[in-house]
Structure formats: structure tokens, C-alpha cells
Amino acid sequence: MSKGYDFTITALGTPRIQSPISLSKEMDDYLANYVSDDDRVIYDIITRRDNNQLSFPTEELLERAGPRELIYFSPSKVNAAVVTCGGLCPGLNDVIRAIVMCLSYRYNVKRITGIQYGYRGFLPQFHIPTIELTPARVEDIHKKGGTILGSSRGFGDCTAEIVDSIEQMNINMLFVIGGDGSQRGAQDIADEAAGRSYKLAVVGIPKTIDNDLSFVQKSFGFDTAVSEAVSAVAGAHVEAKDAINGVGIVKVMGRESGYIATHTALAINDVNYVLIPEVPFDLEGPNGLLTHLEKRLEARKHAVILVAEGAGQKLLEQQAGADASGNKKLGDVGTFLKSKVSEHFKAKDIEVNVKYIDPSYIIRSAPANPADSLYCARLGTNAVHAAMAGKSKILISLVNNHFVHVPIDMAVSKRNCVDPESSLWRDVIDGTGQPALMKN
């Protein structure tokens, strides 16, 4: 954090007073709880016993989020825009709602524009209209899944055209709800605007159902995703248990990180094998998955396999190619496993009944559960506080249970993965009873 990142200097220069927001005197007195620009949250908080009186154990201090006493923007001059990018994730509407409500009610901002279908909504060639966002429009949207703005995957570099469009609309505050690709795009937009000396505050709310962004304790929607995945696993377990040598296979999201799979397994306790991208495994051989599965079926007559979509990619002849967002295109490990399991037992003339469930779209489109609703509400509110204070090129994040500002380039610099030596993975191994490593 320390080095190279300077939180308080934003693209807009040092914040200065324009006009204090119109809080009633009474609230002003009672709620004199502004957050200081000097407040920091320690990121790495594991230390050693004898360190307490010695020296500071970390280099990383994150700027604390929250309302500032002095704000950069005069509310009557604000012209805000909100955009949602990438795949669906529970809580998108909650974040949109919170941004609109906080801008409207706390800061009395009147002009808020919804950009439809991701960044594409900025590009004239698509002829996509914008939406006016008002409290009345967003009042109940948090009870629905998806995003009222629509979304789309990325495409080639159009930063200049997007900033053209932003200039034409006189937007001076942009909220980007999206994944790491979209946040990199947000950074490019901010840089392009700065290059043009166009004043634009760009604040991101990181969205990744896989929970794989670093400096983000838990991404919004993740909790709901796990709840929904638990339901699918419950179904697979029933199907497996009630058939002769029933094998339930459930595929969940997780291109490079196995968080949904690990959390789901720990939450429901009905999974026997968790396969994640971080832990390679073999199918064949004395310590391969199929061998272990065969032993288990002999002993217990049924099994449930929970596989993250990015697991076992080396086992698939990896077709080249990438999706529109530039993400690596993954082979479908779910159907691959399904056929490998079937073939294995067919070759040995052992009856198995494989039931395969892919609940991905059901998970992504679910409305946020109450924990995520609350979390999204607070992310959106803090994003507004940050933008009003003139912060830019930052993400709103929760770290060690405190809301913080994280510079975009810092957050997207590396991925958050399940550490195979962490207590999380250890608890999964203990809970499932699966071998620590299924490699020969």
C-alpha cells in the first residue's frame, strides 16, 4: 500500500471544500462521525507473539472509507453515472439502489444516469438508451436478481470512445460495478479523462462471484452464491444416495479460485470430493480420483463430487481461445468428469448412476440474501462518500471488516486464491475425508 500508492491525491487533486452538504444542525451535532482522510486499516494482521511492543508487522495500510467532512463536489453540480459489467451476480441491484439513494437523500444530487448493458451503453454505434435513476425507480429493485441496467461482457479497447461519450453527457462521477477486467477499463477511462484534463471521479465496486479479487475480504453476492450452491448439492446428495452407486456431480463457478466450492462443501457437509483450480488432481492411477471414487462406492454406495469450473483444466485438452472479456476459455470440466466417471465404471462393468447438475445461471440470477443486501447497501453508500470526496481510481472494499479504499491497480494486480496450506482447505480435507492430494 504504502509505496507507490497515494490515496489522498486523486485524479481530481486534493479535495477542497465546495459547499458542505445540507445536514440538519441536529444531525450534524449528533452524527459528527466523519472519517478522517488519515485513518488507515491494517491489512496483514497476523503477527508473532513477541511483536506487540516492537515494530509494525506489515507494509500495508488501507485508507478507510466513509463520509468526509470536506467534499470535493458541490452536490448541485454532480452528474453521476452507474454501469454494471460482466456476468450477473446477486446484489447488483442492491448496489445500484444504494448509490442512488445515498446520492439523492444524503447529498441531494439530482442527476443520476444509468448506462445500459455495460460499457457498450456508452458507445453510439449500439444505440442503447440511458435510464434516469431516481429513488422512486430503484426503491424496490433490490428484491430482484440481476441488474436493472443490463450487463454485457467486454470487447476490444474503446476507452477513447467511452470518454468521448462521457464528455458529451457531462458526466463527472462514474460508478463501475464489475470484475477485474471492467475495473482495469475503469482505470483506463480515468487515465484517459485525466489526459484530457476532464474532471472525472471513477469509483469501482468490485464484482466477482468467484471471490477472487485480492484486497477484497469477500465479494458481494458470494454469500448468496454459496447458499444457492448448497441447494444444488443437497439435490445431488439425495439423487446419489437414493440410486444404486449414485454419483452426484455439481459444477459451480470458480475459474481460477475454488472459494464457492470450498465454502459450499463446508456449509453442507454432504460433499465427498471437492475439486478446485488451486489443487491439481489425477483421474487415473493408484491415487487418482476415479480410484478413490471406486473404493468409496464399494464402501458407501454413493458419492458427491463438487467441482469448480476451473478445476482440472490440465486434464482437458485445453482448446485455445478466450471469451469476449479476454478471459481464458475453459473446457467444461463438469461434462468431462461426468463422461469419465461413466466410462471408467462401464469399462469395469460396475453399474453407476451419474447425475450431473450445473446450477450456474440459477446461482448468478438469484436475488441477494439479507447478508449480501446489507453488504451491498454499505458498499454503495461508501462508494458515494468516496466519489463526493473526490476520490478516483479506487475500489470500495471490505478488509478485515472495515470498509476501505483500494487503488484499482493494486486490487487487480493479483488474484485471490484458496491457499492449499490454509485452515480453510485443511477444514475441507477434514470435512470431506478426501485425500489431501489426489496425485500419483
Burial class (CB in 10 A: 0-12, 13-18, 19+), 38: exposed
The verdict on 327 binding a second copy (CB under 8 A) reads no
Phi, psi of 28 (to 5 degrees): -55, -45
Least distance (Å) between residue 435 CB and a second copy: 7
Contacting residue, 16, 20, 56, 440, with a second copy by CB under 8 A: 56
Least distance (Å) between residue 11 CB and a second copy: 20
Distance of CA 406 to the CA centre of its chain: 14
Please say whether the beta carbons of 154 and 63 come within 8 A. no
Enclosing H/E stretch for 237: helix 222-241
79-to-133, 169, 171, 361 alpha-carbon distances in Å: 11, 9, 5, 34
Binding region for a second copy (CB under 8 A) out of 62-70, 203-211, 339-347, 389-397? 62-70
Least distance (Å) between residue 104 CB and a second copy: 11
145/277 with CB nearer a second copy: 145
Buried b / exposed e over 75-104, threshold 16 CB at 10 Å, is beebbbbbbbbbbbbbbbbbbbbbbbbbbb
The verdict on 433 binding a second copy (CB under 8 A) reads yes
Contacting residue, 181, 280, 331, 420, with a second copy by CB under 8 A: 420
Binding region for a second copy (CB under 8 A) out of 11-19, 167-175, 224-232, 313-321? 224-232
36-to-69, 375, 389 alpha-carbon distances in Å: 8, 22, 11
Binding region for a second copy (CB under 8 A) out of 24-32, 291-299, 308-316, 408-416? 24-32
Number of residues that bind a second copy (CB under 8 A): 110
Span 87-116, contacts to a second copy by CB under 8 A: 88, 97, 101-102, 105-106
The verdict on 79 binding a second copy (CB under 8 A) reads no
The verdict on 32 binding a second copy (CB under 8 A) reads yes
Q: Is the Cα dihedral 226, 149, 168, 135 positive or negative?
A: negative
84/113 with CB nearer a second copy: 84
- For 241, half-sphere exposure in the C-beta direction (CA atoms, 13 angstrom radius) is 9
Span 129-188, contacts to a second copy by CB under 8 A: 142-147, 150-152
Least distance (Å) between residue 146 CB and a second copy: 4
92-to-99, 220, 361, 393, 412 alpha-carbon distances in Å: 11, 9, 15, 20, 20
Enclosing H/E stretch for 80: strand 79-84
Contacts with 249 (C-beta within 8 Å, 6 or more apart), sequence order: 236, 304, 305, 307, 334, 337, 338, 341, 354, 355, 356, 357
C-alpha cell at 238: 439425495
Burial class (CB in 10 A: 0-12, 13-18, 19+), 253: buried
Least distance (Å) between residue 329 CB and a second copy: 16
93/187 with CB nearer a second copy: 93
The verdict on 86 binding a second copy (CB under 8 A) reads no
The verdict on 51 binding a second copy (CB under 8 A) reads yes
Please say whether the beta carbons of 192 and 340 come within 8 A. no
Contacting residue, 5, 73, 117, 220, with a second copy by CB under 8 A: 117
Span 229-268, contacts to a second copy by CB under 8 A: 230-232, 234-239, 241-244, 248, 263-264, 266-268
C-alpha cell at 157: 479497447
Active site residue 358: no
349/421 with CB nearer a second copy: 421
Catalytic residue among 37, 94, 188, 210: 210
193/296 with CB nearer a second copy: 296
Please report which residue ranges of 61-129 form alpha helices under DSSP H.
92-101
The verdict on 322 binding a second copy (CB under 8 A) reads no
Span 355-394, contacts to a second copy by CB under 8 A: 355-359, 361-362, 364-366, 369-371, 373-374, 377-378, 381
Residues noted as catalytic: 210
